């Protein structure tokens, strides 16, 4: 295919901002592309020559481009630079100066997509001595043959400045319309706000097939090629390839335990929700390991430590695992929040020092492919069982995510407490019989970060009530405990108790319990020996200068007496702090 055809499309796309029109332009164009050219055309259409997850780059800066323009046109570097200052865009400069030059000397042969693609990929591969000259030659060769408008897009593509303003959704639609439009009767009109189709259900079936193919390959170039050459079946059979990242499954959110259970069903698996960052680990049959972030960027070089753990501790000829890398303190071994290790992700130098200064533990929670077999349609329960079989856990290196199967609210509450105490964000609920759905935010995985966690607090003081409550101690000073055994106040609770004894925990009963514990009295205020522990609910934990703990509970409510707990088993200050921090993250 000639490059000029693609350039026409770029120009058309630039003339409109309407999503539907852009989609239509692309879909019409794709109908004309043959299967052999499809991959290259699609990549160039997106302004690239490498897939998004490929870390290779064309690697040409503006200076080198100036030089190439100079070599191609013979126009002095000074003049080109002046023009650049004026235009602010080297693509436009190229178009202008090639136009001037064209009229006189340059002679052109027709540029093909293949030629452009070849030269651009070579640019990325060159290294060593003489690289600058060879790169200049490769670019100049293209520019010499290019028409003015073509040179604009060549320059923009090389500099990574192509923006056609077409998102993933439009690309998916364009492929669907191009290759299946005739089957589903897609009708597009320039004036309309949407396309017309004969049957929405059938249309959605095709859309889903295209989306699925994209989710597993991550590359519209491959999707378009499969659709063109093998139709719907080609899309359905498109497989993931170990070494090429697949879109990760995303989580929904629940605010209550009941809501989470409702979505994932009972029993459900619950896991610690680690505050790190997602890593998709691949091992191919040759033993090569690759690591990708949630956004599918290749971070293999930044995490040699993780590469080692994955290589050593996961059995299998090839696999794709899903996991969370969590930073921990070298001193205490405790988990650290994500921010403490985030700098490792973009780091290009001193990698070994970074690994040693900011170590991470890999918590593996899912498996997507094993020994060449896709695990996407296996139920979660089976995927987890496989992980348990193939991972050889080593603390502070690679472990399985901490997990439990539960049906009861109280078990969730207990596990949540454990999770928060260990420095995690909360819990993940997982539906036991669900597949792995790449790229989708479906209810197979639910994050639960914010439980209105109750606290068990010691009563250290109280106040006599007013009016008809004057016979009762009706407001209670509540305290947590620090590591030295000091009781530190976090607020005053006066709601939650009954006025009539027969209705439940009452002011009368509380007064009866507290009065004998009195240490001192001043006005209505009474100090009592810490002995009674109560479970307290609240709306929020706030920082507070008023109380010696530094925290205050908003709207505390007495829930029950914890007569199974002594005062020294009250919730610790550290725990209050952790709950406060976990609250901030939601």
Rounded to an integer, what distance in angstroms lies between the CA atom of residue 27 and that of residue 115? 24
Q: Taking the complex as a whole, how short is the minimal distance between the CB of residue 289 and ligand AMP, in angstroms? A: 19
Note whether 322 and 367 are within 8 A (CB): yes
Structure tokens at 581: 């921090």
Phi, psi of 497 (to 5 degrees): -100, 155
Report how far Cα 92 is from the mean position of its chain's Cα atoms. Answer: 37
* Residue selected from 70, 136, 218, 401 as contacting ligand AMP according to rule CB under 6 A: 401
* Residue selected from 154, 260, 428, 451 as contacting ligand AMP according to rule CB under 6 A: 428
Q: Is 82 a catalytic residue?
A: no
Query: Considering beta carbons, is residue 149 or 412 the nearer one to ligand AMP?
Result: 412
CA 458 vs CA 421, 485, 531, 564: distances in Å: 20, 12, 7, 13
Give residues 320-359 in contact with ligand AMP (rule: CB under 6 A).
Answer: 324
Query: Considering beta carbons, is residue 159 or 248 the nearer one to ligand AMP?
Result: 248
Q: Taking the complex as a whole, how short is the minimal distance between the CB of residue 248 and ligand AMP, in angstroms? A: 6
Query: Considering beta carbons, is residue 38 or 376 the nearer one to ligand AMP?
Result: 376
Give residues 258-277 in contact with ligand AMP (rule: CB under 6 A).
Answer: 271-274
Q: Taking the complex as a whole, how short is the minimal distance between the CB of residue 586 and ligand AMP, in angstroms? A: 9
* Residue selected from 115, 122, 294, 524 as contacting ligand AMP according to rule CB under 6 A: 294
Query: Considering beta carbons, is residue 29 or 365 the nearer one to ligand AMP?
Result: 365
Contact between 406 and ligand AMP by CB under 6 A: the answer reads no
Give residues 497-526 in contact with ligand AMP (rule: CB under 6 A).
Answer: none
Name the catalytic one among 273, 283, 290, 397.
Answer: 273
Q: Residue 289: beta bridge partners?
A: 283
Site string for ligand AMP, 357-396 (x = CB under 6 A): --------x-------------------------------
Half-sphere exposure in the Cβ direction for 36 (13 Å, CA): 3
Q: Taking the complex as a whole, how short is the minimal distance between the CB of residue 218 and ligand AMP, in angstroms? A: 16
Give residues 565-584 in contact with ligand AMP (rule: CB under 6 A).
Answer: none
Total number of residues binding ligand AMP (CB under 6 A)? Answer: 13
Q: Taking the complex as a whole, how short is the minimal distance between the CB of residue 91 and ligand AMP, in angstroms? A: 37
SS (H, E, C) 182-229: HHHCCECCCCCCCCECCCHHHHHHHHHHHHHHHHHHCCHHHHHHHHHH
What is the secondary structure of 141-167 as a DSSP string? Answer: HHHHH--HHHHHHHHHHHHT-------
Rounded to an integer, what distance in angstroms lies between the CA atom of residue 342 and that of residue 338? 6
Query: Considering beta carbons, is residue 154 or 428 the nearer one to ligand AMP?
Result: 428
What 3-state class would DSSP assign to 238?
coil
Contact between 450 and ligand AMP by CB under 6 A: the answer reads no
Query: Considering beta carbons, is residue 376 or 428 the nearer one to ligand AMP?
Result: 428
Query: Considering beta carbons, is residue 359 or 537 the nearer one to ligand AMP?
Result: 359
Q: Taking the complex as a whole, how short is the minimal distance between the CB of residue 25 and ligand AMP, in angstroms? A: 35
Rounded to an integer, what distance in angstroms lies between the CA atom of residue 441 and that of residue 240? 19
Note whether 207 and 27 are within 8 A (CB): no
Rounded to an integer, what distance in angstroms lies between the CA atom of residue 206 and that of residue 196? 15
Query: Considering beta carbons, is residue 25 or 249 the nearer one to ligand AMP?
Result: 249
Q: Taking the complex as a whole, how short is the minimal distance between the CB of residue 342 and ligand AMP, in angstroms? A: 13
Identify which of 262, 264, 273, 341 has the alpha carbon closest to the alpha carbon of residue 306: 341
> Which residue number places its CB atom closest to ligand AMP?
278
Q: Please, where are the H alpha helices in 265-408?
A: 304-313, 339-346, 351-357, 380-390
Kindly give, in sequence order, each residue whose CB lies less than 8 Å from that of residue 350, ignoring residues fewer than 6 positions away: none
Contact between 447 and ligand AMP by CB under 6 A: the answer reads yes
Rounded to an integer, what distance in angstroms lies between the CA atom of residue 537 and that of residue 493? 10
Rounded to an integer, what distance in angstroms lies between the CA atom of residue 16 and that of residue 9? 11
* Residue selected from 6, 111, 251, 314 as contacting ligand AMP according to rule CB under 6 A: 251
Query: Considering beta carbons, is residue 13 or 387 the nearer one to ligand AMP?
Result: 387
Rounded to an integer, what distance in angstroms lies between the CA atom of residue 223 and that of residue 176? 10
Q: Taking the complex as a whole, how short is the minimal distance between the CB of residue 370 and ligand AMP, in angstroms? A: 18
Q: Taking the complex as a whole, how short is the minimal distance between the CB of residue 309 and ligand AMP, in angstroms? A: 17
- Residues noted as catalytic: 273
- Enumerate binding residues for ligand AMP (CB under 6 A): 251, 271-274, 278, 294, 324, 365, 401, 428, 445, 447
């Amino acid at each position: 295919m000639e490059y000029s055809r693609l350039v026409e499309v770029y120009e058309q796309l630039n003339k409109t901002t309407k999503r539907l029109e852009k989609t239509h332009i692309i879909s019409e164009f794709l109908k004309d592309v043959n299967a052999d050219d499809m991959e290259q055309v699609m990549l160039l259409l997106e302004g690239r020559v490498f897939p998004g997850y490929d870390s290779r780059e064309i690697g040409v800066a503006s200076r080198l481009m100036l030089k190439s323009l100079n070599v191609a046109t013979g126009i002095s570097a000074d003049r080109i630079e002046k023009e650049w200052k004026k235009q602010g865009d080297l693509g436009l400069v190229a178009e202008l100066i090639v136009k001037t030059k064209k009229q006189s000397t340059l002679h052109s042969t027709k540029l093909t997509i293949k030629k452009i693609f070849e030269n651009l990929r070579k640019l990325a591969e060159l290294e060593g001595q003489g690289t600058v000259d060879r790169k200049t030659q490769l670019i100049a060769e293209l520019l010499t043959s290019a028409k003015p408008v073509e040179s604009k897009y060549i320059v923009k593509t090389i500099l990574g400045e192509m923006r056609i303003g077409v998102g993933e959704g439009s690309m998916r639609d364009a492929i669907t319309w191009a290759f299946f439009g005739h089957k589903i009767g897609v009708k597009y009109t320039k004036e309309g706000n949407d396309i017309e189709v004969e049957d929405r259900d059938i249309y959605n079936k095709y859309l889903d097939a295209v989306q699925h193919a994209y989710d597993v390959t991550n590359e519209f170039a491959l999707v378009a090629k499969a659709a063109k050459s093998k139709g719907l079946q080609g899309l359905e059979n498109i497989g993931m390839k170990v070494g090429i990242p697949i879109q990760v499954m995303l989580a929904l959110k629940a605010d209550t335990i009941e809501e989470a259970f409702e979505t994932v069903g009972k029993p459900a698996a619950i896991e610690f929700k680690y505050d790190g960052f997602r890593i998709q680990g691949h091992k191919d049959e040759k033993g090569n390991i690759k690591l990708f972030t949630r956004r599918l960027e290749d971070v293999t070089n930044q995490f040699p430590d993780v590469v080692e753990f994955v290589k050593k501790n996961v059995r299998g000829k090839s696999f794709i695992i899903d996991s969370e890398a969590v930073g921990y303190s070298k001193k205490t071994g405790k988990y650290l929040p994500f921010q403490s290790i985030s700098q490792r992700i973009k780091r290009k130098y001193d990698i070994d020092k970074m690994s040693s200064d900011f170590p991470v533990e890999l918590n593996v929670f899912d498996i997507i492919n094993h020994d060449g077999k896709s695990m996407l349609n296996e139920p979660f329960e089976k995927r987890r069982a496989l992980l348990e079989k193939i991972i050889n856990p080593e603390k502070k290196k690679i472990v399985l995510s901490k997990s439990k199967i539960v049906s009861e609210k109280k078990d969730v509450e207990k596990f949540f407490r454990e999770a928060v105490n260990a420095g995690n964000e909360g819990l993940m609920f997982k539906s036991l019989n669900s597949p792995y759905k790449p790229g989708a935010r479906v209810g197979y995985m639910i994050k639960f970060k914010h439980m209105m966690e109750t606290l068990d607090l010691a009563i250290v003081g109280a106040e006599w009530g007013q009016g008809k409550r004057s016979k009762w101690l009706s407001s209670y000073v509540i305290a947590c405990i620090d590591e030295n055994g000091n009781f530190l106040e976090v607020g005053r609770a006066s709601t939650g108790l009954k006025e009539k004894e027969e209705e439940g925990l009452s002011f009368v009963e509380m007064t009866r319990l507290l009065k004998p514990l009195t240490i001192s009295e001043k006005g209505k205020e009474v100090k009592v020996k810490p002995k009674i522990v109560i479970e307290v609910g609240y709306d929020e934990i706030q920082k507070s200068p008023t109380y010696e703990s530094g925290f205050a509970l908003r709207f505390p409510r007495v829930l029950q007496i914890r007569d199974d707990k002594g005062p020294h088993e009250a919730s610790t200050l550290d725990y209050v702090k952790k709950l406060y921090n976990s609250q901030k993250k939601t």
